Amino acid sequence: MKITMRGVRGSIPVPGPDTVVYGGNTTCHEIRTTSGHLIILDGGSGIRQLGNELLANLPVKCHIFITHTHWDHIQGLPFFIPLFIPGNTMDIYGSFDPVYMKDLRSILSQQMEYCYFPVRECELAATINYHNIREGQAVQVGSATVTPILTNHPVLNYGYKIEDSGKTFFFTGDYEPPVNIYDEEDEEYAGYQQLVDEQQQTLIDFVQGVDVMVADSQYTHEEYPAKTGWGHGTFETNIRLARLANIKEFYFTHHDPMRTDAQLDEIFSEIMSRDNLPDTVFHLAKEGTVIEL
């Protein structure tokens, strides 16, 4: 299994001199399975360049798994050129939205309506198959098995575990560890805390021992109190998760759009200087990074 990071920024693309090292494109990861199949995780702006490179070997057949439909995770799809070419086949997977009662195709099509984009989804020439999948519903893509798990975010949101030839990779998309909405003196506190603990343990069990994990670490511990409920994790919460789940290798991703390369280096250097870190090997996610498992 070969993973290439095509976009590691959160919220909005931020090209410019301050983001050239870690990249300014929003979320997208390319996975080549042992059997040669192409899996794409999320369709942020990072998918555009991937699509351009795929044109060298037509026809294109790929499986695109969407964690959730916030714009920074789907905004690159209208610029994914293989969608415009007859003979190409795309299978797109994601969740049905139970709040707005919309399926995946309806949601993705909306950003290509004429009021937003000059080409409608129904005018795309590739064969596109949409799949509304449920938590725990494994999808076989050649040698790889892709399994979604619900993770905490202000919209229905999946993390995906990919297992291929004895190796495992996990990607959260966006994820904020659940927090107790009650104060300790409230009678509802204990019952709600049990739900929080169970949800956290479910994720820990799901990712236990994975070889490589890439997870949303948009904020620092100091920044988080002002961002609680926005749906993003911190470096500290993910270090704790890596410890509890015995993660072998971990990449901090979904970099805040306000964060410069120099600031990321400073934060990472401070974190790596701390005592009592787990045995996990930590990295900052960087556009263009290639991981081979």
Structure tokens at 132: 């509304």
pLDDT digits (tens, 9 = 90+) for 135-193: 999 999 999 999 999 999 999 999 999 999 999 999 998 999 999 999 999 999 999 99
pLDDT digits (tens, 9 = 90+) for 200-219: 999 999 999 999 999 999 99
Handedness of CA 214, 217, 221, 227 (dihedral sign): negative
Q: What is the dihedral of CA 237, 160, 8, 271, to 10 degrees?
A: 20
Predicted TM-score (pTM) of the model is 0.97
List the domain boundaries for the chain: 2-292
Q: Which CATH number fits domain 2-292: 3.60.15.10, 3.40.50.800, 3.40.50.620, 3.40.50.10490?
A: 3.60.15.10
